[in-house]
Amino acid sequence: MADPLRTGASLGARARRRYLEARRAVGIKLRDRLSIGDNESDLARVPLDFEVMVYFADPPVNLYQLRQWLYPLEQLNASHPVFIMTRETGTFQALASETELPIVNAAPIRTVDSICQASDIKLALYVNQTHQNFSALRYADMLHVYLSHGESEKTAYTASNQVKAYDFSFVAGEAAVARYRDGLVNFDVDARLRTIGRPQLDVRDDVGTRKTTDRTTVLYAPTWEGDRPSTAYGSVESHGTEIVEALIHNAKYRLIYRPHPKSGWARPEAGAVDTRLRRAIRKAAEENPEAGHRVDLDPHFGPQMDEADVMICDVSAVAMDFLPTGKPLIVTQPARPEATVDRSGVLGSVYNLRVDQLDRVAELVDGWVTDDVGRAERTGWIERYFGDVTPGASMRRFLDACEETIQLRDKLVSARRDRRGADS
Protein backbone atom coordinates (compact mmCIF):
# COMPACT_ATOMS: atom_id res chain seq x y z
CA MET A 1 0.00 0.00 0.00
CA ALA A 2 1.25 3.49 -0.80
CA ASP A 3 2.38 5.74 2.01
CA PRO A 4 -0.83 7.50 3.11
CA LEU A 5 1.02 10.71 3.88
CA ARG A 6 2.89 11.05 0.61
CA THR A 7 2.28 14.10 -1.57
CA GLY A 8 3.50 14.73 -5.05
CA ALA A 9 2.59 14.62 -8.71
CA SER A 10 -0.62 15.92 -10.23
CA LEU A 11 -3.21 13.69 -11.82
CA GLY A 12 -4.71 14.36 -15.22
CA ALA A 13 -7.32 12.84 -17.49
CA ARG A 14 -5.46 9.55 -17.92
CA ALA A 15 -5.17 9.15 -14.15
CA ARG A 16 -8.87 9.87 -13.80
CA ARG A 17 -9.69 7.08 -16.26
CA ARG A 18 -7.48 4.69 -14.32
CA TYR A 19 -9.17 5.86 -11.14
CA LEU A 20 -12.63 5.10 -12.48
CA GLU A 21 -11.58 1.74 -13.86
CA ALA A 22 -9.85 0.67 -10.66
CA ARG A 23 -12.73 1.89 -8.52
CA ARG A 24 -15.29 -0.08 -10.54
CA ALA A 25 -13.11 -3.17 -10.59
CA VAL A 26 -12.20 -3.27 -6.92
CA GLY A 27 -15.33 -1.70 -5.41
CA ILE A 28 -13.47 -0.28 -2.44
CA LYS A 29 -15.51 1.64 0.10
CA LEU A 30 -12.87 3.53 2.02
CA ARG A 31 -13.27 4.82 5.56
CA ASP A 32 -9.69 5.86 5.83
CA ARG A 33 -7.36 8.81 5.46
CA LEU A 34 -5.68 9.30 2.12
CA SER A 35 -3.19 11.76 0.73
CA ILE A 36 -2.95 11.65 -3.05
CA GLY A 37 0.69 11.13 -3.82
CA ASP A 38 2.99 10.47 -6.73
CA ASN A 39 1.66 6.94 -7.18
CA GLU A 40 -1.43 7.21 -9.38
CA SER A 41 -2.82 4.01 -7.90
CA ASP A 42 -3.59 6.06 -4.76
CA LEU A 43 -6.43 7.72 -6.62
CA ALA A 44 -8.14 4.38 -7.23
CA ARG A 45 -8.61 4.05 -3.47
CA VAL A 46 -10.77 7.18 -3.26
CA PRO A 47 -14.45 6.20 -3.06
CA LEU A 48 -17.03 7.56 -5.47
CA ASP A 49 -20.05 7.12 -3.23
CA PHE A 50 -19.77 10.22 -1.05
CA GLU A 51 -22.63 12.69 -1.22
CA VAL A 52 -21.18 15.52 0.87
CA MET A 53 -17.78 17.18 0.54
CA VAL A 54 -16.42 19.44 3.26
CA TYR A 55 -13.83 21.60 1.54
CA PHE A 56 -11.05 22.97 3.73
CA ALA A 57 -7.98 24.33 1.94
CA ASP A 58 -6.37 26.20 4.84
CA PRO A 59 -3.21 25.49 6.87
CA PRO A 60 -3.39 23.92 10.35
CA VAL A 61 -3.53 27.29 12.13
CA ASN A 62 -7.13 27.66 10.93
CA LEU A 63 -8.31 24.19 11.92
CA TYR A 64 -10.29 25.71 14.81
CA GLN A 65 -12.76 26.78 12.13
CA LEU A 66 -13.41 23.19 11.07
CA ARG A 67 -13.06 21.41 14.42
CA GLN A 68 -16.27 22.89 15.76
CA TRP A 69 -18.19 21.28 12.87
CA LEU A 70 -16.75 17.78 13.17
CA TYR A 71 -19.44 16.36 15.44
CA PRO A 72 -22.38 17.76 13.41
CA LEU A 73 -20.71 16.44 10.25
CA GLU A 74 -20.34 13.03 11.83
CA GLN A 75 -24.08 13.07 12.54
CA LEU A 76 -24.78 14.03 8.93
CA ASN A 77 -22.58 11.15 7.78
CA ALA A 78 -25.09 8.69 9.25
CA SER A 79 -27.58 9.56 6.50
CA HIS A 80 -25.42 11.07 3.75
CA PRO A 81 -21.80 9.88 3.34
CA VAL A 82 -19.41 12.74 4.11
CA PHE A 83 -15.73 13.23 3.39
CA ILE A 84 -13.35 16.10 4.10
CA MET A 85 -11.08 17.38 1.36
CA THR A 86 -7.93 19.14 2.59
CA ARG A 87 -5.26 20.79 0.44
CA GLU A 88 -2.30 20.91 2.86
CA THR A 89 -0.45 17.93 4.29
CA GLY A 90 -0.01 19.52 7.72
CA THR A 91 -3.77 20.04 7.98
CA PHE A 92 -4.42 16.49 6.82
CA GLN A 93 -2.02 15.04 9.37
CA ALA A 94 -3.46 17.08 12.26
CA LEU A 95 -7.06 16.29 11.35
CA ALA A 96 -6.52 12.57 10.81
CA SER A 97 -6.41 11.90 14.55
CA GLU A 98 -9.49 13.99 15.38
CA THR A 99 -12.34 12.43 13.41
CA GLU A 100 -13.49 9.12 11.99
CA LEU A 101 -14.70 10.86 8.83
CA PRO A 102 -12.75 9.99 5.69
CA ILE A 103 -10.20 12.62 4.72
CA VAL A 104 -8.65 13.08 1.30
CA ASN A 105 -5.66 15.39 0.96
CA ALA A 106 -5.78 16.65 -2.61
CA ALA A 107 -2.86 19.04 -2.83
CA PRO A 108 -2.69 19.39 -6.66
CA ILE A 109 -5.64 21.18 -8.23
CA ARG A 110 -5.83 18.43 -10.84
CA THR A 111 -6.57 15.98 -8.05
CA VAL A 112 -9.46 18.13 -6.90
CA ASP A 113 -10.70 18.12 -10.47
CA SER A 114 -10.38 14.34 -10.81
CA ILE A 115 -12.28 13.63 -7.60
CA CYS A 116 -15.05 16.17 -8.15
CA GLN A 117 -15.67 15.12 -11.75
CA ALA A 118 -15.57 11.42 -11.02
CA SER A 119 -17.86 11.59 -7.98
CA ASP A 120 -21.55 12.34 -7.64
CA ILE A 121 -21.09 14.90 -4.87
CA LYS A 122 -24.39 16.60 -4.13
CA LEU A 123 -23.47 19.07 -1.41
CA ALA A 124 -20.27 21.02 -0.74
CA LEU A 125 -19.84 22.71 2.64
CA TYR A 126 -17.43 25.51 3.55
CA VAL A 127 -16.56 26.85 7.01
CA ASN A 128 -14.63 29.98 5.99
CA GLN A 129 -14.29 32.54 3.21
CA THR A 130 -10.79 31.78 1.95
CA HIS A 131 -10.23 32.61 -1.71
CA GLN A 132 -9.17 29.00 -2.22
CA ASN A 133 -12.82 27.97 -1.93
CA PHE A 134 -13.19 29.01 -5.56
CA SER A 135 -11.23 25.92 -6.57
CA ALA A 136 -14.28 23.88 -5.52
CA LEU A 137 -17.03 26.42 -6.17
CA ARG A 138 -16.45 26.00 -9.90
CA TYR A 139 -18.20 22.61 -9.96
CA ALA A 140 -21.77 23.10 -11.09
CA ASP A 141 -23.29 19.69 -10.35
CA MET A 142 -23.29 20.19 -6.60
CA LEU A 143 -24.91 22.82 -4.40
CA HIS A 144 -22.52 24.93 -2.35
CA VAL A 145 -23.31 26.03 1.20
CA TYR A 146 -21.43 28.40 3.48
CA LEU A 147 -21.56 27.36 7.14
CA SER A 148 -19.23 29.92 8.70
CA HIS A 149 -17.39 29.11 11.93
CA GLY A 150 -19.36 31.04 14.47
CA GLU A 151 -22.08 33.59 15.16
CA SER A 152 -20.68 36.97 16.14
CA GLU A 153 -20.97 40.71 15.74
CA LYS A 154 -17.83 40.87 13.60
CA THR A 155 -19.99 42.54 10.98
CA ALA A 156 -17.12 43.06 8.53
CA TYR A 157 -16.84 39.27 8.31
CA THR A 158 -20.23 37.84 9.19
CA ALA A 159 -22.17 39.95 6.67
CA SER A 160 -19.64 39.80 3.86
CA ASN A 161 -20.56 40.21 0.21
CA GLN A 162 -18.59 37.01 -0.37
CA VAL A 163 -21.62 34.98 0.70
CA LYS A 164 -23.11 35.64 -2.74
CA ALA A 165 -20.73 33.05 -4.17
CA TYR A 166 -22.64 30.20 -2.50
CA ASP A 167 -26.04 28.76 -3.31
CA PHE A 168 -27.07 29.01 0.32
CA SER A 169 -25.71 30.16 3.65
CA PHE A 170 -26.72 28.39 6.85
CA VAL A 171 -26.92 30.95 9.65
CA ALA A 172 -27.66 30.66 13.34
CA GLY A 173 -30.76 32.80 13.79
CA GLU A 174 -32.69 35.95 13.10
CA ALA A 175 -29.85 38.23 14.22
CA ALA A 176 -27.71 36.90 11.36
CA VAL A 177 -30.59 37.25 8.91
CA ALA A 178 -31.03 40.89 9.93
CA ARG A 179 -27.28 41.44 9.62
CA TYR A 180 -27.34 40.29 6.00
CA ARG A 181 -30.56 42.13 5.23
CA ASP A 182 -29.17 45.40 6.55
CA GLY A 183 -25.62 44.98 5.29
CA LEU A 184 -25.89 43.67 1.73
CA VAL A 185 -27.45 45.03 -1.44
CA ASN A 186 -28.80 42.88 -4.28
CA PHE A 187 -29.04 39.80 -2.07
CA ASP A 188 -32.24 37.79 -1.62
CA VAL A 189 -32.06 37.02 2.09
CA ASP A 190 -35.24 34.94 2.17
CA ALA A 191 -34.14 32.73 -0.73
CA ARG A 192 -30.48 32.30 0.12
CA LEU A 193 -30.37 31.95 3.93
CA ARG A 194 -31.43 29.04 6.11
CA THR A 195 -31.55 29.39 9.90
CA ILE A 196 -30.24 26.30 11.70
CA GLY A 197 -29.32 27.50 15.18
CA ARG A 198 -25.91 26.52 16.50
CA PRO A 199 -25.39 22.72 16.40
CA GLN A 200 -22.20 23.12 18.44
CA LEU A 201 -24.36 24.02 21.45
CA ASP A 202 -25.65 20.45 21.35
CA VAL A 203 -22.12 19.15 21.88
CA ARG A 204 -21.45 19.58 25.58
CA ASP A 205 -18.88 17.14 26.91
CA ASP A 206 -18.61 16.21 30.57
CA VAL A 207 -16.16 18.47 32.34
CA GLY A 208 -13.36 16.32 33.65
CA THR A 209 -10.77 18.99 34.41
CA ARG A 210 -12.57 21.05 37.02
CA LYS A 211 -10.94 20.98 40.43
CA THR A 212 -12.75 21.41 43.68
CA THR A 213 -12.09 24.99 44.67
CA ASP A 214 -13.74 27.94 46.34
CA ARG A 215 -12.15 30.24 43.81
CA THR A 216 -14.16 31.94 41.07
CA THR A 217 -13.11 30.38 37.77
CA VAL A 218 -12.52 33.01 35.10
CA LEU A 219 -12.16 31.94 31.49
CA TYR A 220 -10.19 34.49 29.47
CA ALA A 221 -10.61 33.63 25.77
CA PRO A 222 -9.39 36.48 23.56
CA THR A 223 -9.61 36.43 19.80
CA TRP A 224 -6.67 37.11 17.49
CA GLU A 225 -5.62 40.58 16.43
CA GLY A 226 -7.28 40.54 13.01
CA ASP A 227 -5.79 41.25 9.60
CA ARG A 228 -7.28 44.73 9.09
CA PRO A 229 -8.19 47.73 11.27
CA SER A 230 -11.96 47.10 11.07
CA THR A 231 -11.52 43.63 12.62
CA ALA A 232 -8.91 44.52 15.25
CA TYR A 233 -10.89 43.00 18.12
CA GLY A 234 -8.08 41.14 19.89
CA SER A 235 -7.33 42.19 23.47
CA VAL A 236 -4.08 40.32 24.13
CA GLU A 237 -1.91 43.40 23.63
CA SER A 238 -4.27 45.98 25.09
CA HIS A 239 -5.89 44.10 28.00
CA GLY A 240 -4.13 40.78 28.42
CA THR A 241 -1.29 41.59 30.77
CA GLU A 242 -3.46 43.48 33.26
CA ILE A 243 -6.19 40.82 33.22
CA VAL A 244 -3.81 37.94 33.77
CA GLU A 245 -1.66 39.64 36.42
CA ALA A 246 -4.70 40.80 38.38
CA LEU A 247 -6.31 37.35 38.48
CA ILE A 248 -3.34 35.05 39.07
CA HIS A 249 -2.25 37.15 42.04
CA ASN A 250 -5.67 37.28 43.67
CA ALA A 251 -6.65 34.36 45.91
CA LYS A 252 -10.30 34.73 44.92
CA TYR A 253 -9.72 33.63 41.35
CA ARG A 254 -8.73 30.65 39.26
CA LEU A 255 -7.75 31.61 35.70
CA ILE A 256 -8.14 29.55 32.54
CA TYR A 257 -6.37 31.27 29.68
CA ARG A 258 -7.57 30.12 26.28
CA PRO A 259 -5.34 31.78 23.66
CA HIS A 260 -6.57 31.99 20.10
CA PRO A 261 -4.66 29.69 17.71
CA LYS A 262 -3.84 32.67 15.49
CA SER A 263 -2.50 35.01 18.20
CA GLY A 264 0.51 36.74 16.71
CA TRP A 265 -0.35 35.68 13.17
CA ALA A 266 -0.83 39.25 11.94
CA ARG A 267 1.11 41.13 14.61
CA PRO A 268 4.25 39.58 16.11
CA GLU A 269 3.83 41.94 19.05
CA ALA A 270 0.61 40.14 19.99
CA GLY A 271 2.38 36.82 19.75
CA ALA A 272 5.11 38.05 22.08
CA VAL A 273 2.55 39.17 24.67
CA ASP A 274 0.72 35.85 24.37
CA THR A 275 3.99 34.02 25.08
CA ARG A 276 4.57 36.12 28.18
CA LEU A 277 1.03 35.50 29.43
CA ARG A 278 1.41 31.74 29.04
CA ARG A 279 4.70 31.83 30.89
CA ALA A 280 3.26 33.89 33.75
CA ILE A 281 0.24 31.60 34.17
CA ARG A 282 2.30 28.43 34.12
CA LYS A 283 4.70 29.90 36.66
CA ALA A 284 1.79 30.84 38.93
CA ALA A 285 0.39 27.32 38.57
CA GLU A 286 3.74 25.79 39.55
CA GLU A 287 4.12 28.07 42.57
CA ASN A 288 0.57 27.47 43.76
CA PRO A 289 -0.83 24.22 42.30
CA GLU A 290 -3.96 24.41 44.44
CA ALA A 291 -5.03 27.58 42.65
CA GLY A 292 -5.67 25.59 39.48
CA HIS A 293 -4.55 28.23 36.96
CA ARG A 294 -3.88 26.84 33.50
CA VAL A 295 -3.25 27.61 29.87
CA ASP A 296 -5.87 25.67 27.92
CA LEU A 297 -4.82 24.43 24.48
CA ASP A 298 -7.32 21.61 24.05
CA PRO A 299 -8.32 21.40 20.36
CA HIS A 300 -11.98 21.17 21.36
CA PHE A 301 -13.51 24.32 22.84
CA GLY A 302 -16.78 23.88 24.70
CA PRO A 303 -16.40 22.21 28.10
CA GLN A 304 -14.27 25.14 29.25
CA MET A 305 -17.34 27.37 29.08
CA ASP A 306 -19.26 25.02 31.35
CA GLU A 307 -16.30 24.97 33.70
CA ALA A 308 -16.12 28.76 34.05
CA ASP A 309 -18.08 30.93 36.45
CA VAL A 310 -17.53 33.99 34.26
CA MET A 311 -15.91 34.61 30.90
CA ILE A 312 -13.85 37.50 29.59
CA CYS A 313 -13.57 37.56 25.81
CA ASP A 314 -13.50 39.88 22.83
CA VAL A 315 -16.01 40.65 20.10
CA SER A 316 -16.16 37.14 18.62
CA ALA A 317 -18.26 34.01 18.23
CA VAL A 318 -17.04 32.85 21.63
CA ALA A 319 -19.16 35.55 23.26
CA MET A 320 -22.31 34.32 21.56
CA ASP A 321 -21.63 30.67 22.37
CA PHE A 322 -21.34 31.59 26.05
CA LEU A 323 -24.78 33.24 26.16
CA PRO A 324 -26.81 30.04 26.75
CA THR A 325 -24.81 29.27 29.91
CA GLY A 326 -26.58 32.20 31.57
CA LYS A 327 -23.38 33.17 33.38
CA PRO A 328 -21.78 36.63 33.51
CA LEU A 329 -20.16 37.67 30.25
CA ILE A 330 -17.52 40.37 29.96
CA VAL A 331 -16.54 41.58 26.48
CA THR A 332 -13.50 43.79 26.05
CA GLN A 333 -13.90 47.07 24.24
CA PRO A 334 -11.43 47.18 21.32
CA ALA A 335 -8.55 49.54 21.95
CA ARG A 336 -8.36 50.52 18.30
CA PRO A 337 -11.17 52.92 17.32
CA GLU A 338 -11.20 51.59 13.74
CA ALA A 339 -12.67 48.28 14.92
CA THR A 340 -16.34 48.21 13.97
CA VAL A 341 -18.63 47.26 16.85
CA ASP A 342 -22.42 47.11 16.71
CA ARG A 343 -23.77 47.56 20.22
CA SER A 344 -27.42 47.60 19.16
CA GLY A 345 -27.57 43.85 19.76
CA VAL A 346 -26.38 41.67 22.60
CA LEU A 347 -23.11 43.60 22.97
CA GLY A 348 -25.16 46.36 24.51
CA SER A 349 -26.25 43.93 27.24
CA VAL A 350 -22.89 42.51 28.32
CA TYR A 351 -20.33 43.96 30.69
CA ASN A 352 -17.80 46.01 28.72
CA LEU A 353 -14.20 46.13 29.87
CA ARG A 354 -12.37 49.24 28.70
CA VAL A 355 -8.64 49.84 28.77
CA ASP A 356 -9.10 52.64 31.30
CA GLN A 357 -10.73 50.18 33.74
CA LEU A 358 -7.89 47.67 33.84
CA ASP A 359 -6.38 49.07 37.04
CA ARG A 360 -9.38 47.62 38.91
CA VAL A 361 -10.22 44.61 36.77
CA ALA A 362 -10.43 42.16 39.70
CA GLU A 363 -12.80 44.46 41.54
CA LEU A 364 -15.03 44.79 38.48
CA VAL A 365 -15.13 41.06 37.83
CA ASP A 366 -16.04 40.42 41.45
CA GLY A 367 -18.88 42.95 41.28
CA TRP A 368 -20.27 41.62 38.01
CA VAL A 369 -20.20 38.01 39.26
CA THR A 370 -21.77 38.90 42.60
CA ASP A 371 -24.49 41.12 41.16
CA ASP A 372 -25.19 39.98 37.60
CA VAL A 373 -27.81 42.59 36.74
CA GLY A 374 -27.50 41.96 32.99
CA ARG A 375 -28.46 38.30 33.05
CA ALA A 376 -32.15 38.69 32.26
CA GLU A 377 -31.46 41.02 29.36
CA ARG A 378 -28.83 38.70 27.89
CA THR A 379 -31.17 35.74 28.19
CA GLY A 380 -33.65 37.60 26.05
CA TRP A 381 -31.16 37.69 23.20
CA ILE A 382 -30.57 33.93 23.04
CA GLU A 383 -33.60 33.17 20.86
CA ARG A 384 -32.77 35.98 18.45
CA TYR A 385 -29.23 34.73 17.95
CA PHE A 386 -29.83 30.98 18.03
CA GLY A 387 -33.54 30.24 17.94
CA ASP A 388 -34.60 27.14 19.86
CA VAL A 389 -31.70 26.01 22.08
CA THR A 390 -33.51 22.97 23.47
CA PRO A 391 -30.93 20.15 23.45
CA GLY A 392 -30.86 18.57 20.00
CA ALA A 393 -32.95 21.27 18.29
CA SER A 394 -30.08 22.95 16.45
CA MET A 395 -28.59 19.64 15.35
CA ARG A 396 -31.94 18.61 13.93
CA ARG A 397 -32.30 21.87 12.02
CA PHE A 398 -28.80 21.48 10.58
CA LEU A 399 -29.46 17.93 9.43
CA ASP A 400 -32.86 18.90 8.00
CA ALA A 401 -31.35 21.84 6.10
CA CYS A 402 -28.71 19.53 4.59
CA GLU A 403 -31.39 17.00 3.67
CA GLU A 404 -33.54 19.65 1.98
CA THR A 405 -30.56 21.01 0.05
CA ILE A 406 -29.55 17.56 -1.17
CA GLN A 407 -33.13 16.83 -2.29
CA LEU A 408 -33.25 20.18 -4.09
CA ARG A 409 -30.00 19.40 -5.85
CA ASP A 410 -31.31 16.03 -7.03
CA LYS A 411 -34.49 17.68 -8.28
CA LEU A 412 -32.56 20.34 -10.19
CA VAL A 413 -30.16 17.86 -11.76
CA SER A 414 -33.05 15.62 -12.78
CA ALA A 415 -34.87 18.57 -14.35
CA ARG A 416 -31.75 19.54 -16.28
CA ARG A 417 -31.38 15.98 -17.53
CA ASP A 418 -35.00 15.99 -18.69
CA ARG A 419 -34.50 19.29 -20.54
CA ARG A 420 -31.43 17.98 -22.31
CA GLY A 421 -33.30 14.84 -23.27
CA ALA A 422 -36.16 16.88 -24.69
CA ASP A 423 -33.78 19.11 -26.64
CA SER A 424 -32.07 16.13 -28.20
* pLDDT tens digits, one per residue of 110-125: 888 888 888 899 999 9
Task: State the average pLDDT for the chain.
Answer: 85
- Cα–Cα distance between 165 and 145 in angstroms, integer? 9
Q: Span 171-197, mean pLDDT?
A: 94
Rounded Cα distance, 373 and 328, in Å? 9
**Residues 24-38: what's their mean pLDDT?**
44
Least confident window among 153-162, 370-379, 408-417? 153-162
Superfamily, domain 216-386: Glycogen Phosphorylase B; (3.40.50.2000)
Other C-beta atoms closer than 10 Å to the C-beta of 340 total 16
Neighbouring CB atoms inside 10 A of 167's CB total: 18
| E strand segments, 287-344 | 294-295, 310-313, 329-332
DSSP state of 239: I
The model's pLDDT over 341-394, given as tens digits with 9 standing for 90+, comes to 777 778 888 899 999 999 999 999 999 999 888 888 888 889 999 999 999 999
pTM equals: 0.82
Instruction: Assess whether the region 13-149+399-412 and the region 216-386 belong to the same CATH fold.
Output: yes
Region of 148 (left: φ > 0; alpha: ψ -120 to 50; beta: rest) is left
- 13-149+399-412: CATH architecture: 3-Layer(aba) Sandwich (3.40)
How many Cβ atoms from other residues are within 10 Å of residue 104's Cβ?
Answer: 25
Q: In Å, what is the CA distance from 414 to each residue of 20, 140, 221, 403? A: 23, 14, 48, 17
3-state secondary structure of 399: helix
Q: Which amino acid is at 390?
A: T
The residue type found at 238 is S
**Residue spans per domain, the chain:** 13-149+399-412, 216-386
